């Protein structure tokens, strides 16, 4: 497997524009996480899915942020409209955790560096 794949790797956009970040998790993994990393706040969990269902989105900062997982192999994180303070590195991670295999590691993508000017 190629690991967790995120696109794009870098995104520069103007304030007010819509931004869509994409993630392909590892095949067979049933958890998918979206994290945001900044110098000020470190790594923050934004939302996570279990079996394509959003379980906890309490980390999503505002209604401008939304995430979907239409199927087991694809997820998107959308920011509309984007603001300069959204500038950060956004990571997607996936994990297999089920039954007796709950103590497992998460696998991270390379991240998307978002700059909103």
Partner 1 sequence: SQQGEEDPQALSIQEGENATMNCSYKTSINNLQWYRQNSGRGLVHLILIRSNEREKHSGRLRVTLDTSKKSSSLLITASRAADTASYFCATDTGGSYIPTFGRGTSLIVHP
Which positions lie near partner 1, rule CB under 8 A? 4, 31, 33, 35, 42-43, 45, 48, 55-56, 91, 93, 97, 102-111
What is the nearest approach in angstroms of partner 1 to the Cβ of residue 68? Answer: 19
Comparison of 81 and 97: residue with beta carbon closer to partner 1: 97
Q: Nearest to residue 94, comparing CAs of 77, 106, 110, 105?
A: 106
Comparison of 80 and 95: residue with beta carbon closer to partner 1: 95
Comparison of 81 and 89: residue with beta carbon closer to partner 1: 89
C-alpha span between 26 and 19 (Å, rounded)? 23
Q: What dihedral do alpha carbons 53, 54, 56, 60 form, nearest 10°?
A: 170
C-alpha span between 117 and 106 (Å, rounded)? 32
Comparison of 17 and 115: residue with beta carbon closer to partner 1: 115
What is the nearest approach in angstroms of partner 1 to the Cβ of residue 117? Answer: 20
What is the nearest approach in angstroms of partner 1 to the Cβ of residue 42? Answer: 4
Q: Which pairs with CB-CB distance under 8 Å and at least 24 residues apart come from 46-54?
A: 46/77, 46/90, 47/77, 49/75
């Amino acid at each position: 497997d190629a690991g967790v794949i995120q696109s794009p790797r870098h995104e520069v956009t103007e304030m007010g524009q819509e931004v869509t970040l994409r993630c392909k998790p590892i095949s067979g993994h049933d958890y998918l996480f979206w994290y945001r990393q900044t110098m000020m706040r470190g790594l923050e969990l934004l939302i996570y899915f279990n079996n394509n269902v959003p379980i906890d989105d309490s980390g999503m900062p505002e209604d401008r942020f939304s995430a979907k997982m239409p199927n087991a192999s694809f997820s998107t994180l959308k920011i509309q409209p984007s603001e300069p303070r959204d500038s950060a590195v956004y990571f997607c991670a996936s994990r297999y955790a089920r039954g007796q295999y709950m103590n497992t590691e998460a696998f991270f993508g390379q991240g998307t560096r978002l700059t909103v000017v």
